[in-house]
Amino acid sequence: MPTNTFYSFPSPAKLNLFLHIVGQRADGYHELETVFQFLESGDTIDISISNTSNELTLLTPINGVDNEDNLIIKAAKALQHYANVKKGALIKIDKRLPMGGGLGGGSSNAATVLVALNYLWQLNISLEELATLGLTLGADVPVFVRGYAAFAQGIGEQLTPVTPSEDYYLITKPPVSISTQAVFTAPSLTRDTPKLNLDQLDINSCHNDCQTFVIKHYPEVANLLAWLLEYAPSQMTGTGACIFSRFSSREQAEKIQSLLPEQISSFVAKGVNRSPLHQHINMLKAG
């Protein structure tokens, strides 16, 4: 790959179409069942590789996050170490996904860096190996690395491909951020939802166990959810604070978006069962 040239890669958002907490392990991690689906929208990561230096530089620091703590740099370093790479990279991110929203932005960024650098550094590491490496960075990283919509079990790393309907979503976020740790350490959180049988999976009859806790403690989320439910099936994704509302067309979603109060950030995106990142990589490989 030529150096000093920046290559752009999508870093898509994800939705948890539901989130059941079915138990808690001895190490404190929660046993989950969920379906991940990607969104066409997300962040964009630009990467330029260096063949003369192994330095990794993030040119667009994120406010409040030290570069060394950023999952982008952590992912690049993890791959560099894993493959014993002597090359480096300059990395930029156009950050559009809200932090603390439950859309998987940080995990997606890490996965995009792993997949993109594997391609740019010409390492030819399998997606299975990359996913295992990604799990050391976060439980949601493997689904972004593998790139297909999935029924997830365990802490989110046991993935079975599924094909939920690819609807249009209005994604909304009230002016509040929610700590994932605060939700998962809450004593009142439901942790005993019965396990699902994948053969009889009906996403529409499932729910988000975190939502009950969040709407009790974050009135901004509760009020927005109540408003949205007047117009469409709506549910929180992950630990929040983002809510997704399902529509059969972009026009319907945009119509309700136009009615939102000013302080609510929002975007409309199509749900997709194949990650835009992998579609992009395949196009690059095809030349």
pTM: 0.95
What percent of the chain is modeled with pLDDT above 70?
99
Active site residues per annotation: 14, 140
Q: Check whether 20 has a pLDDT greater than 70.
A: yes
Compute, in degrees rounded to 10, the torsion defined by CA atoms 179, 184, 189, 193.
130
Q: What does the block give as tokens for 152?
A: 């997830």
Q: Which of 278, 275, 236 is nearest to 39 (CA)?
A: 275
> Which residue(s) pair with 266 in the sheet?
172
CATH numbers and ranges of domains, the chain: 1-287 (3.30.230.10)
Average pLDDT, the chain: 95
CA distance 16 to 77: 28
Q: Check whether 54 has a pLDDT greater than 70.
A: yes
Mean pLDDT, rounded, for 186-210 = 93
Confidence of residue 3 (pLDDT cuts 50, 70, 90): low
Angle at 72 between CA 167 and CA 102, to 5 degrees: 35
Confidence of residue 133 (pLDDT cuts 50, 70, 90): very high
Task: Find out whether 13 and 41 touch, Cβ atoms under 8 Å.
Answer: yes
pLDDT of residue 99: 79
CA distance 117 to 194: 40
Confidence of residue 62 (pLDDT cuts 50, 70, 90): confident
pLDDT of residue 177: 87
Q: Which residue has the higher pLDDT, 3 or 55?
A: 55
- For 70-112, how does the pLDDT look when each residue is reduced to its tens digit (9 = 90+)? 999 999 999 999 999 999 999 999 999 987 789 999 999 999 9
CA distance 203 to 173: 22
